[in-house]
């Protein structure tokens, strides 16, 4: 049985198709004005299609961008051009805006070109995340070795120091006390690393991320972040995430505490917790043809000084830290927990703006009952 489409349906179909594409797409006319932008393009440029249409494309991209040259080449040659790894980073578009470009002429409209942007940053971040997971696995083996091969002799060293302490003078007793204190510190570090060697299956249930974030916020406000403003911008329509509640509380407590420590005594310090639905992000599963969708985005923003640029690619590696007395295991543990849940975690940082972004799969089941009395199911403030 065949059917026919009305003229209105035929006219609306191309726009619906373009809006379904998960990459920004814009149409630029012969004068350089943006005459069409799909929904992804509106999000990419942070402006509505009507606002884009009132300005030249050069208004929204960095000065001297190679994109302008590509547009002219396509107009002259009347042939499509691909350009890879073009940096469009700017205060308007944000940092780390690395894209692949496809620019093609529109033969029915001389001088007009269509531009497709494919963001490289997420692909690069996923590649880095796989490296982080490999690093976490190497720490797993190291933790097991340390637990068995180091803790036992450390106990002997501490016991010997305690025996010496009772038979030496006051000046030397300070040295034996130092031996005991440093031995205890090493044992504490090894105990923390043993968490990485725990490969038991995680008990997971569908949980509401907003109840977890509200619990973390309450703990932070009552303790380490009592002098810092904490706000939230939640998407209340998010589906539940299939996760272990306690482990996610541990993850976000770690991220919020890092943000609070980065802000320090800054008088206008602020931490913002956000949640959003980001369709189109998929992660391949090693050894299979399966791809996992990661549409749930949970972020911790802070306006601290930012992370040094040379440290960002290695931030989730073990023993990497910017803290004077830090062990460098907190973010490595965050990466391990989120990786164990099938998600990824990344950091975008520049001066006065740092974002830790967690991407996770959604649960298909109902939300578990949350025993936390301060939990709120989701809100926007």
Q: What is the pLDDT of residue 308?
A: 81
Q: What is the pLDDT of residue 54?
A: 79
Burial class of residue 353 in the structure, from the number of CB atoms within 10 Å of its CB (0-12 exposed, 13-18 middle, 19+ buried): middle
Q: What is the pLDDT of residue 161?
A: 83
- pLDDT tier, 214 (very low <50, low <70, confident <90, very high otherwise): very high
CB contact set of 301 (below 8 Å; sequence gap of 6+): 259, 271, 272, 273, 274, 353, 354, 355
Of 45-49, 140-144, 286-290, the poorest mean pLDDT is in 286-290
Distances (CA, A) of 145 to 56, 117, 196, 340: 61, 47, 12, 22
Q: What is the pLDDT of residue 257?
A: 92
* Average pLDDT score over residue span 119-148: 58
Q: What is the pLDDT of residue 95?
A: 67
11 pLDDT above the threshold of 80: no
Q: What is the pLDDT of residue 217?
A: 92
Q: What is the pLDDT of residue 371?
A: 41
More confident residue, 86 or 380: 86
Q: Which residues pair with 230 in a beta bridge?
A: 271
Question: Could you say which DSSP state residue 90 is in?
Answer: B
Question: Could you say which DSSP state residue 204 is in?
Answer: -
pLDDT in tens, 239-290: 999 888 888 998 999 999 999 998 988 889 999 999 998 775 655 555 545 5
- pLDDT tier, 147 (very low <50, low <70, confident <90, very high otherwise): low
Q: What is the pLDDT of residue 6?
A: 45
% of the chain surpassing 90 pLDDT: 17
- pLDDT tier, 130 (very low <50, low <70, confident <90, very high otherwise): low
* Average pLDDT score over residue span 355-359: 91
Integer Cα distance of 308 and 288 in angstroms: 36
Q: Which residues pair with 81 in a beta bridge?
A: 103
124 pLDDT above the threshold of 80: no
Integer Cα distance of 57 and 271 in angstroms: 34
Antiparallel, parallel or unpaired: β 229-233 and 282-284: unpaired
164 pLDDT above the threshold of 60: yes
CB contact set of 180 (below 8 Å; sequence gap of 6+): 158, 161, 162, 165
More confident residue, 172 or 262: 262
114 pLDDT above the threshold of 90: yes
* Average pLDDT score over residue span 68-96: 83
Average pLDDT, the chain: 77
CB contact set of 338 (below 8 Å; sequence gap of 6+): 251, 344, 345, 358, 360
182's enclosing H/E stretch is helix 170-193
More confident residue, 316 or 34: 34
More confident residue, 347 or 294: 347
% of the chain surpassing 70 pLDDT: 71
Q: What is the pLDDT of residue 378?
A: 40
């Amino acid at each position: 049985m065949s059917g026919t489409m009305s003229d209105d349906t035929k006219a609306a179909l191309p726009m619906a198709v373009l809006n379904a594409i998960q990459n920004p797409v814009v149409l630029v006319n012969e004068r350089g004005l943006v005459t069409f932008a799909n929904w992804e393009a509106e999000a990419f440029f942070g402006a509505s299609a009507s606002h884009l249409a009132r300005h030249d494309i050069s208004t929204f991209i960095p000065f001297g961008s190679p994109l302008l040259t590509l547009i002219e080449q396509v107009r002259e040659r009347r042939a499509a051009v691909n350009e890879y790894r073009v940096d469009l980073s700017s205060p308007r578009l944000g940092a780390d805006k690395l894209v692949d470009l496809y620019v093609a002429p529109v033969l029915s409209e001389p001088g007009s070109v269509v531009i497709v942007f494919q963001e490289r940053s997420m692909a690069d971040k996923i590649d880095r995340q796989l490296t982080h997971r490999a690093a976490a696995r190497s720490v797993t083996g190291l933790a097991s070795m340390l637990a068995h091969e180091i803790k036992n002799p450390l106990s002997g060293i501490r016991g010997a120091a305690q025996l010496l302490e009772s038979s030496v003078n006051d000046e030397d007793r300070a040295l034996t006390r130092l031996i005991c204190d440093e031995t205890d510190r090493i044992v504490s570090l090894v105990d923390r690393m043993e968490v990485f060697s725990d490969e038991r299956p995680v008990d997971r249930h569908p949980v509401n991320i907003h109840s977890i974030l509200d619990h973390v916020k309450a703990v932070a406000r009552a303790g380490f972040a009592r002098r810092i403003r904490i706000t939230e911008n939640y998407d209340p329509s998010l589906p539940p995430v299939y996760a272990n509640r306690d482990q996610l509380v541990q993850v976000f407590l770690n991220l919020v505490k890092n943000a609070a420590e980065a802000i320090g005594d800054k008088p206008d310090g602020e931490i913002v917790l956000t949640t959003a639905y980001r369709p189109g992000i998929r992660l391949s599963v090693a050894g299979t043809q399966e791809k996992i969708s990661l549409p749930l985005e949970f972020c911790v923003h802070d306006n601290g000084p930012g992370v040094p640029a040379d440290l960002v690619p290695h931030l989730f590696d073990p023993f990497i830290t910017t803290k004077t007395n830090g062990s460098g295991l907190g973010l490595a543990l965050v990466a391990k927990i989120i990786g164990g849940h099938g998600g990824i975690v990344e950091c975008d940082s520049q001066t006065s703006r740092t974002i830790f972004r967690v991407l996770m799969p959604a649960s298909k089941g109902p939300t578990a009952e949350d025993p936390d009395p301060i939990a709120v199911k989701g809100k926007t403030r």
